[in-house]
Amino acid sequence: MNRRPEIVHGRVETARQCPSPNQDSRPAECQPSLLVIHGISLPPGEFGGPWIDQLFTNCLDTNHHPFFAEIRDLRVSSHLLIRRDGQLVQYVSLDRRAWHAGRSAFMGRRACNDFAIGIELEGCDDRPYTDAQYAALSPVVAAIRAVYPAIGPHRVVGHCHIAPGRKTDPGPMFQWHRLRQGMLDWQ
């Protein structure tokens, strides 16, 4: 079992750091109280490569794939990414606002980026996530919840839950029961 990572000043110690410019300060007096699970693959349905890092750091090589021309002007990020092999990458300090949720609402509160932490899983709606990803996700979620106790178990949701009709990730292949069990195991 992986050990629970330490979080110091918003930085996850076990994560490779890849700072994104696509972030800013959270609104005053706004602490994280929601954790959003996402799924991402670039190009769509393909895994590996530098493309997610490049997207989140605004240096995507648009000549590599035709889809990249469609997203060239996006300015997005996430706090964390868990790659297929379980590697953890951090783009934005957990104390800052990453630009991952877009138009969104949770329990009547809009603009989820203000109060959410976003974790991307390298994957897509129609393929299972890997054992290594679940093994990395549970201790990271536990570490985040220890630092931000307002993120209760019912406040760990998918992008699909805060942007229904607009987003489907992490998709039907994501095994919520594995995450829920992992959260219990790490309490």
List beta partners, residue 117: 35
Compute the distance between CA of residue 22 and CA of residue 18 in angstroms, rounded to an integer.
12
Catalytic residue among 6, 13, 120, 122: 120
Please name the residue ranges forming H helices in the chain.
Answer: 51-56, 66-70, 131-147, 159-162, 176-185
- Residues 6+ away with beta carbon under 8 Å from 168: 125, 159, 160
Catalytic residue list contains 13: no
**Using omega within 30 degrees of 0 as the cis cutoff, is the peptide bond preceding 170 cis?**
yes
- Sign of the dihedral defined by the CA atoms of residues 41, 45, 49, 55, in that order: negative
CA distance 131 to 31: 31
Catalytic residues: 120
